[in-house]
Structure 1
Amino acid sequence: MDTIRWSVDKNVDEIKGYPQIEKAADLLRNNEVVAIPTETVYGLGGNAKSDEAVKKIFQAKGRPSDNPLIIHIAEKEQLEEFVVEVPELAEKLMNQFWPGSLTIIFQQKEGILSTSATAGLSTVAVRMPDHPVALAVIKSSGLPIAAPSANRSGRPSPTTAQHVFEDLNGLIAGIVDGGSTGVGVESTVIDCTAAIPTILRPGGVTKEQIAKVIGDVRMDPALQNEKVKPKSPGMKYQHYAPDAPLFLVKGSKSFLQKLIDEKRQHGLRVGVLTTIEGESHVHADFVFTCGERKQLETVAVKLYEALRSFNTAGVDIIFSEMFPNEGVGDAIMNRLMKAAGHQIISEE
């Protein structure tokens, strides 16, 4: 399969009329899959009503079939077609954070969406992306669009069209290039069917921001304890991993440097993920500086680029500093822990 790649300027005044948008929408209506940019990461979109289209998403990604997909919409009115009801708390969240990087779980109507898209569950995860290109493609297609991240399963998520091309060229019908994404990590997933709204995946919208809108909100216990079964099926899988083994380091900069020196003495090429504040304190074969520790949003934006960069750098082992579990730090640490397979080296 030849993968078509179109460039679309997300800053134009009227994006809907772009022929590239219409071509992408036409492919979606014909049950092909197309990568589209969102404000979080690039998504691999397909018709959420079609078993054929959803099957192509899973095949292209190599994704386990019990891992449900997030459904993307361009207008709130689309919910009426496949959602049983919109709870009051969900309505408040939608009014505050949609369009944006918040995915909300609802009870779904039977017989509308592909059961493969929802992994046979009675619930469905939905979001409205805050990206003009994504919204234009979804609106033009006239469909709810199932769209996981547009990468091979297990690899770091794509924040540029080139990342998508590297992973999926020849496996999908097209890529709509709308430039680099903004948030850098996927959306927050919150279950609004629970008695107390529960965050199943931390992301671009923080727990603190959500609590200001709806009050009481909890985190899925599995996010802090890997021995607890996660409520979201997809959270049990390892994701985001670079080719080389990744270890999170808890301790001083001198302890980190000691680890680096030991591995280099054994002939290994060592990569380090750090911040601007820590850059001058480490010496390794390859160092990626992903933002400022005092502004964790800048770390989130560069995180997946960092993980992918270690592959091209050809390192044998990677060490990363750890980050506080607050604000978007929850999402950063969730992704790093999964990428590292929960491997932590502690100084104490």
Structure 2
Amino acid sequence: MNVSSLQILPDAAQGYDQAATVLRDGGLVAFPTETVYGLGADACNDHAVARIYDAKGRPSFNPLIVHFANLDAVKQHVKWTAEADLLSQTFWPGPLTLVLPKKPTSPISRLVTAGLETLAVRMPAHPTARSLFTAFGGPIAAPSANRSGQISPTLASHVIQGMEGRIEAVLDGGPCAVGVESTIVGLTDKPVLLRPGGITEEQLRDCLGRPIAIRKNAEAISAPGQLSSHYAPTAAVRLNATEWNAGEMRLGFGDVACDLNLSPQEDLVEAASHLFDYLHRLDSKGHPVIAVSPIPHHGLGVAINDRLSRAAAPRDTGS
């Protein structure tokens, strides 16, 4: 697949309308959410959804998240539950994805669900994304707008670098504030944390009034973002580095001499917002290894460490 030119669309009514037209015509549009840039297609168009997998080089057994403008639209496609109601009232719009049984009447492509009987749904808070959803008027399937397994994009320039020639347009809404993907919670039985992200385990527990179960890595894929190798730069990644080796690019945290520092003040929110952009920057230097300081494993640190451990894992073909 080769798309002749990539349109950079403005964060304005004209850009939203142009992006919606591209989607209606079966094209692919990257757009910002509060987490990362998504690669959007009409979720009800089989050919358009297939193009997402092709553009990313993504395996077809890895399901996609579908994004919606409002709660009424979500409920047309999934079987709603009391836990879904509680979580959505607390965290939507925002960086939370819910996995629920898909209604048999839903016209969403089975390519989106990778053959599963469940659907991953989300209502992003980013105003640019919400304006696009309103202009388009339907569900948009959107994984992160990067090549399969590589670093997720938090700037339009990251998308252009990785996807030019593969997609029709990028809606440039500036940098993504959260910087790590959405938290995913499965709600087909008891609530299960399937992927840590912008909403912490502690926040979920406080909302539900009880601890939430956590998916074991050995379990079958049931939601996006669960493959062991993911978010990976070209360079190898060395974790929990307390000393630096010669020839490494150094990604620091806290009071440490380094090439780029996720947060000198040890602020996990700041660190999450910088994570993918700084990995992009260090990877562009061409060094064989990126060494990363230890990150505290609580709050957003759980999501940061999840992304880093996948970036450091042996490489596979997933995204």
The answer to whether the superposition gives a TM-score over 0.5 is yes
The structural deviation recorded for 1:220 is: 2.8
SS of structure 2 residue aligned to 1:116: helix
Indicate yes or no: 2:289 matched with 1:294: no
What is aligned with 2:7? 4
CA-to-partner distance for each residue in 1:171-222, whole Å, 9 max, x for gaps?
A: 1010000101100000000011122x11101000101111111122434342
What is aligned with 2:313? 341
**8 Å CA contact retained: 1:198, 1:217:** no
1:271-310 matched pairs, under 5 angstroms: 271-279=249-257, 287-292=259-264, 294-310=266-282
Higher relative contact order (CA 8 A, sep 6+): 2
SS of structure 2 residue aligned to 1:134: helix
1:7-22 matched pairs, under 5 angstroms: 7-8=10-11, 18-22=13-17
CA-to-partner distance for each residue in 1:7-39, whole Å, 9 max, x for gaps?
A: 21xxxxxx5xx1111110111112111001111
What is aligned with 2:179? 184
1:69-80 matched pairs, under 5 angstroms: 69-80=64-75
Quick one: which of 140, 155, 164 aligns to 1:160?
155
The structural deviation recorded for 1:237 is: 4.1
1:54-203 matched pairs, under 5 angstroms: 54-83=49-78, 85-110=79-104, 111-195=106-190, 197-203=191-197
Stretches of structure 1 that go unaligned for 5 or more consecutive residues are 9-14, 344-348
Change (3 A) 1:342 1:297: farther
SS of structure 2 residue aligned to 1:249: coil
What is aligned with 1:12? none
**8 Å CA contact retained: 1:101, 1:204:** yes
Please tell me whether Structure 1 or Structure 2 has the larger radius of gyration of its CA atoms: 1
**8 Å CA contact retained: 2:154, 2:276:** yes
1:13-32 matched pairs, under 5 angstroms: 18-32=13-27
The structural deviation recorded for 1:295 is: 1.3
State how far apart, in whole Å, the 1-side matches of 2:51 and 2:202 are: 37
**8 Å CA contact retained: 1:292, 1:298:** no
TM-score w.r.t. length of structure 1: 0.85
Amino acid of the structure 2 residue aligned with 1:89: E
SS of structure 1 residue aligned to 2:239: strand
Amino acid of the structure 2 residue aligned with 1:50: N
State how far apart, in whole Å, the 2-side matches of 1:199 and 1:336 are: 18
**8 Å CA contact retained: 1:199, 1:217:** no
SS of structure 1 residue aligned to 2:76: helix
The structural deviation recorded for 1:231 is: 4.4
**8 Å CA contact retained: 2:30, 2:37:** yes
CA-to-partner distance for each residue in 1:136-165, whole Å, 9 max, x for gaps?
A: 111111110001000111110000000000
RMSD: 1.8
What percentage of aligned pairs have identical amino acids? 39
Change (3 A) 1:219 1:321: farther
State how far apart, in whole Å, the 1-side matches of 2:187 and 2:163 are: 33
SS of structure 2 residue aligned to 1:36: strand
**8 Å CA contact retained: 2:26, 2:45:** yes
State how far apart, in whole Å, the 2-side matches of 1:276 and 1:249 are: 13
CA-to-partner distance for each residue in 1:238-288, whole Å, 9 max, x for gaps?
A: 1111111111126xx3xx13xx1xxx2xxxx21111124223xx5xxxx12
**8 Å CA contact retained: 1:100, 1:129:** yes
**8 Å CA contact retained: 1:291, 1:299:** yes
CA-to-partner distance for each residue in 1:32-71, whole Å, 9 max, x for gaps?
A: 1100111110000001111111011111111110110000
Change (3 A) 1:89 1:143: same
TM-score w.r.t. length of structure 2: 0.93
Count of residue pairs brought into register by the alignment: 311
State how far apart, in whole Å, the 1-side matches of 2:283 and 2:144 are: 19
State how far apart, in whole Å, the 2-side matches of 1:276 and 1:322 are: 9
**8 Å CA contact retained: 2:253, 2:295:** no
SS of structure 2 residue aligned to 1:117: helix
What is aligned with 1:247? 238
